Structure 1
Amino acid sequence: MEQLPAVRARAVTKSFGDVVALDDIDLEVTQGQIHGLVGPNGAGKTTLLGLLLGLSGVDSGRLEVLGTLVGRALEAPDGVAGFVDGPALYPSLTPRQNLAALAALRGHDARTAGIDDVLAEVGLTGVADDRTRGFSLGMRQRLGLAAALLFKPRLLVLDEPTNGLDPAGKKHVHGVLNRLTADGTAVVLSSHNMDDLETLCSDVTILVTGRVVFTGPLSKLATDNRELDYRLLTSDPQAARRVADEARGVRVVDGGGIRQNAELLVVRALVPALDDLVVRLVEEGVALRELTPVVSPLEAAFLALTEQQEAGR
């Protein structure tokens, strides 16, 4: 039996007075998927997350969340959890007390709510009895994630969940999200951190001024017909430059910096031309030590789509 999408939006519109925050948007999020939400400030991301969490209702269109039709009522279906604009916490309470209070508000017994389990899952066991007033931004984000996990959501809605986290904390949160999706939970993740989105997401939606300008697999966006700049580090910089100059569809746009006794070139090419360049370098006996985009494919596509949309206004 085919599973229903965790989220299905069709022609959804939402306005606040004269301001149209979401304009006729379509969106579909599959169960067991991390779906990224990207857009400049004011694009409508927070409004969309608020709709999914039941913080506001749609003005027009159709929004289904976990198979339930969501209308104007300010209530999320069972199985939805998350936070927008950072988690709301009681600063005078400890993480354990915060979660106990939240469990009580939802009619759960704090003794059986699994509080210690979710604190351990997000790496806060060691500070479970410290007051949250002195917590860093990253620790508050982790506690917000623990609060969302407390009720075993089937749809998790997160706004900048790795904001303020150090690399170890970010890796920890990534692991939590990947384990959730492996168990079938859908995650909608809004972030300005392109590295996070490229690491975690299978699909992404780009919003600009309340409209969807792209939605679909990240791989389709990243391999779109668009030239990118790549850092090229080899064992023989002179030979690499010669091969790049001779390769069709490849331009050397910059060469600078000495790293590992080799010149770091910057070349511009489409993916097929770049693939051909790698083959040619190998045939010439030039060792390839690094080949990375100067700007990530997602960021490059985001900038291009945003500029196109704003130019057409």
Structure 2
Amino acid sequence: MDTLLSIRARGLTKCFGDVVALDGIDLDVAQGQIHGLVGPNGAGKTTLLGLLLGLAVADNGRLEILGTALGRKPAAPDGVAGFVDGPGLYPSLTARQNLAAMAALSGGGARSARIDDVLEQVGLTDVADDRTRGFSLGMRQRLGLAATLLTKPRLLVLDEPSNGLDPAGKKHVHGVLTRLAADGTTVVLSSHRMDDLEALCSEVTILATGRVVFSGPLSKLAAENRELDYRLLTSDPPVARRVAGETPGIRVVDGAGTQDSERLVVRALVPALDDLVVRLVRAGIALRELTPVVSPLEAAFLALTEAQEAGR
């Protein structure tokens, strides 16, 4: 049985004058998936999000949202909610009043219990009756997320939802998005925070100069790309360094990180790294930490987008 798709795009192009914002974009996003959208400034992320939200239409190509092909006029597809470039709020109104006003503008209304529920979900119950002009950036982002939840969307499209969040706020937002996906809601989010994407997303799409340079599972991205630097903390650093030097495919890296006598930095592909871990265990060395110096997503992002820019 084929996977149900919330988004199916084929050959999407969008130009603004002589500027090609999107150049033949293909994209599939499965129902109930949290899908990350990554790219440098000017890559076309915001334009693509705008198409998904019905704020604009493509010049060419086909876009299906929740099984319905979009027409040639901008229109918000049924079952879709989200925001681009941050949520729009009324600064003189309280958080609760903002949500009531947004619900009214969307053509319906929201019961007080529903407003209370979404405020609780995003962790803003304590400031529900405070005017939003005094809200921090992170609080405004969370209130924007609460507004999108009022309609119980089947597809949620978010632009930098973690922008300005403190650790508590990020925990709330991550929890909300994870629960939504578990209940079958599809989430597409754009972010420059690679740690957020790796924590939340099962698949990512990387854009560069308006084109897709990668789309697929994070595991495939890590496995298919070049060697990464890894930081190792073991119970016996001198012996670990010797074992690493004897392991095929492993290079001990000089420079930043290796001046710490407790930690070892090595460069390797994943299979060679797995072999090193086995050899350390066999040598009776405890492995206390194994982390990439730069995350696989960030490393692939830099390599793929730089290659695309160089080939323009």
Q: Which runs of 5+ in 1 are unaligned?
A: none
Rounded Cα–Cα distance in structure 1 between residues aligned with 2:2 and 2:275:
41
Task: Give the corresponding residue for 1:304.
Answer: 303
Task: Give the corresponding residue for 2:292.
Answer: 293
Q: Which runs of 5+ in 2 are unaligned?
A: none
Kindly provide the amino acid, as one letter, of the partner of residue 111 in structure 1: R
Task: Give the corresponding residue for 2:63.
Answer: 63
Give 1:225 shift: 4.0
Give 1:3 shift: 5.7
Give 1:307 shift: 1.4
Residue 237 of structure 1 pairs with residue 220 of structure 2: no
What's the C-alpha RMSD, in Å, of the aligned pairs? 1.3
Give 1:222 shift: 1.2
Task: Give the corresponding residue for 2:22.
Answer: 22
Give 1:137 shift: 0.5
| 1:28-58 CA-partner distances (Å, limit 9, x unpaired) | 1111000000000000000000000111111
Q: 5 Å matches for 1:134-283?
A: 134-254=134-254, 256-258=258-260, 263-283=262-282
Do the aligned partners of 1:94 and 1:130 also contact (CA within 8 Å) in 2? yes
Do the aligned partners of 2:148 and 2:156 also contact (CA within 8 Å) in 1? yes
Rounded Cα–Cα distance in structure 1 between residues aligned with 2:65 and 2:224:
30
Rounded Cα–Cα distance in structure 2 between residues aligned with 1:20 and 1:142:
32
Q: 5 Å matches for 1:9-88?
A: 9-88=9-88
TM-score by length of structure 2 reads 0.97
Give 1:145 shift: 0.1
Rounded Cα–Cα distance in structure 2 between residues aligned with 1:233 and 1:61:
51
Identity across matched positions, percent: 81
Task: Give the corresponding residue for 1:99.
Answer: 99
| 1:52-83 CA-partner distances (Å, limit 9, x unpaired) | 01111111100001111113211121100000
| 1:251–1:121 CA distance, 2 compared to 1 (3 A) | same
Kindly provide the amino acid, as one letter, of the partner of residue 132 in structure 2: T
| 1:85-110 CA-partner distances (Å, limit 9, x unpaired) | 10000011011111111111122234
Rounded Cα–Cα distance in structure 2 between residues aligned with 1:284 and 1:112:
63
Figure out how many residues of one structure are paired with residues of the other and give that number: 310
Do the aligned partners of 2:225 and 2:300 also contact (CA within 8 Å) in 1? no
Task: Give the corresponding residue for 2:8.
Answer: 8
